[in-house]
Amino acid sequence: MFVFLLLAVTLPPGVTAVSFGRGERFKDAAGKEMCSIVQPLPEPAAFERGVTEISYGVALTPHVVKSASARVIAPGGQDLRVASCNIFTPVKGGFSQTQLGSTISRADKRPLVPGAYRLRITIDGHTAEIPFSVK
């Protein structure tokens, strides 16, 4: 059993929301691959034991964010692979990133190791870590 002290996490400027859940991939009318988390987990996010993949999405404000990165910090003993789920939206003057996200799974396709995980996001030089877990 894992217990988290829920501490208020201040999100960097330009981040409107962070969600965790099962990512669903689909193609839009133009054939471009898209992904979304249809049913986000409640906070603090906790995935069930035996889960083989997890997804996160960081919603970004268009025209505000200049650089964005994220990575999952996970318990050791597992080789993780990442499938990107970023979204870029046409805006006046070009494109703007409106979602930073990924689906994480083990390379050997086994369930993710139970324990405490963190999502480290860095937006325009400001960093925040959001805790989540696998039961």
Q: Mapping DSSP to helix (H, G, I), strand (E, B) and coil, where does residue 97 land?
A: strand
Element holding 116 (H helix, E strand): strand 115-123
**Residue pair 86/25 in contact by the 8 Å Cβ criterion:** no
Token digits of residue 108: 């050997």
pTM of the model: 0.87
Catalogue all structural domains in the chain, each as residue range(s) with its CATH number.
15-134 (2.60.40.10)
N-term to C-term CA, the chain = 7
- 57-110 pLDDT tens trace: 999 998 888 899 999 999 999 999 999 888 878 777 776 889 999 999 999 999
Q: How confident is the model at residue 35 (pLDDT cuts 50, 70, 90)?
A: confident
> Which residue(s) pair with 32 in the sheet?
none
